[in-house]
Amino acid sequence: MQQWVDLKKLRWGSLLLLGGGLSLAAAVKANGVTEFIGAQAMGLSFLPVFLILLAVISAVVFLTELTSNTATTATLVPVLAAIAPALGIHPYTLVIPASIAASCAFMLPIATPPNAIVFGSGHISSQQMRKTGIWLNLICLTVITLLAATLSNFMIQVVTG
């Protein structure tokens, strides 16, 4: 539990950056960037599902470092759900792993409120977060991609009943 003494030392700039990430996601959505991304993704239809999953999950893991998890999923889930059928993939095959991947933000203080709080405590530097976080991101990216590729048919059956 945080004490008021600890909260007074918090670097509020980190939390303001988090709010900026939410604003950025709203601007991206409002200006048609999501539609542009969807149109560009149609060029991936010749790729195997594993590589499409790898590309999507990689993009989400690293995008969520710059915007909040909520903003990332709010922006990308509708795009992924729309382009999946055109790629010959059930929407859940892209949407579920992408939603999970959005929770894998370990590199930057602005990525999640817990990251901002840890950084704001002054005990961990931004450089330490980046060095450790990149490895955690790569591990998550690998695990989510392998599980999604392996379990996608089972996952669809469970979700759709």
> Measured between alpha carbons, how far is 123 from 34 in angstroms, rounded to an integer?
37
Residue 58's contacts (CB-CB under 8 Å, 6 or more residues apart) are 141
> Which residue, 56, 53, 47, is CA-closest to 76?
56
> Measured between alpha carbons, how far is 149 from 36 in angstroms, rounded to an integer?
26
First vs last Cα of the chain: how many Å apart? 41
> Measured between alpha carbons, how far is 113 from 108 in angstroms, rounded to an integer?
11
Q: Coil, strand or helix: which one is 47?
A: coil
For the stretch 65-95, pLDDT in tens is: 888 787 788 778 888 888 888 888 899 999 9
Average predicted confidence (pLDDT) for the chain: 84
For the stretch 27-65, pLDDT in tens is: 777 887 767 777 777 777 889 999 999 999 999 999 988
